[in-house]
Amino acid sequence: MVSLTVEDFGVHNEKKVQKFTWHAEGGMTVSVISYGAIIQSIKVPDCFGVTKDVVLGFDDLDGYVNRNTPYLGATVGRCANRIGNASFEIDGKTYPLAKNSGKHHLHGGLIGFDKVVWDATVSEAKVTLSYYSKDMEEGYPGDLVTSVVYELKNDHTFHVEFIATTSKKTVVNLTNHSYFNLAGHDTGAQEMYKHRVVINADRITKTDSDSIPTGAFTDVEGTPFDFRLEKQVGEGIVSGKNLFDDNYCVNTSGTEVLSFVAKALHPDSGRYMEVHSDQPGVQFYTGNSLPSPKENAIVGKSGVGYRRHGALCFETQKFPDAVHHTNFPSAILTPGEVYKHRVVYKFGVNRNNKFGGPTVISA
């Protein structure tokens, strides 16, 4: 049986923040906080029985409020990733947005979903966090009611479901922005480079120098972006090249199972993580914007300094800047429709250090 505990995690803008922790058989635990609907901790045993926290984050609320510029563990929205030139048009009307990434818009704006306290309800082992985003909040049209449902199961699968409805046509593209290092959150780039990764995608969306999609696609075959067969992430990165921050176009299954998106394995510990989702894309990111060795580190859990390439992100999503490209899956949500986005993270250990095939997870 999975057990769930609830504790206070501080107060933000006069609203109580809660921390929810699941305990599964075999020693895995997951903690989520209601500020930012953030995944605060994921602790997983390795092949030697040693349990470590495998996501970057903070021990207290102050860290998330005042130091979380990289969106560690956060639910980001109303639109994750980038919107070119910080504006979009719906039905002939232009909606300007905050320019918080150069001249572009990133992860929902100045006060996105990662910077608010969500309302919480608990039903057995499920936690539902809900947020009401008012019409024109951060420039987006429509009252948007959003929920994120979290549940850890005994098979060490962590289930996340995003649900949203709107009163006006709007842009919605939600994701979770956890930074994973399967060697442990405190082990840094040296161990991140060792991770072997597979990504189930033949193409990436081509981008310009500002990481804004052009509308074209690039085949990964014969390029450093090809992770269709397992490859060590550190190949190329250690020389300063191939700093991955790209949207991969997932080869979706179109069946009654969630599509296999990606898998990462840390060989020394044997820990692995699979990602399964119903979304058409995944942003594979190697923490390039975390502080360099010459800069002050972000001080995270247990006083650990987080630096560049200290972790990996797999952000399941609609394609970035989809509102400007008719050949991309649409990110427009219309009144009467329900936005749904499911992602499952499967954790385990591989004692023989073999990569193995993906798990089948029902939709």
Residues annotated as binding site for beta-D-galactose?
Answer: 81-82, 177-179, 245
- The residue with tokens 């990602």 is 275
Rounded CA-CA distance 18/193 in Å is 34
Active site residue 23: no
Which residues does residue 57 pair with via DSSP β-bridges, in sequence order? Answer: none
Q: Smallest Cα–Cα separation from 160: which of 353, 343, 361?
A: 343
The tokens for 8 are: 């206070």
Length of the chain measured in residues: 363
Of 105, 177, 309, 325, the catalytic one is 177
* Structure tokens given for 103: 């001249």
CA–CA separation, 133 vs 114, rounded Å?
12
- What tokens appear for 62 in the block? 């102050």
Active-site residue (options: 195, 315, 325, 341): 315
| CA triple 228-311-346, angle to 5 deg | 60
Q: Which helix (H) or strand (E) holds 63?
A: helix 61-66
CA atoms of 315 and 345, how far apart (whole Å): 11
Cis bond upstream, residue 82 (ω within 30): no
Annotated binding site: 81-82, 177-179, 245
* 315 belongs to the catalytic site: yes
* H or E segment and range at residue 20: strand 15-23
CB 201 within 8 A of CB 219: no
Residues 6+ apart with CB under 8 A from 302: 59, 186
| Contact partners, residue 216, CB within 8 Å, separation at least 6 | 205, 206
Asked if residue 189 lies in contact with residue 307, where contact means CB atoms within 8 angstroms, the answer is: yes
Residues tagged active-site:
177, 315
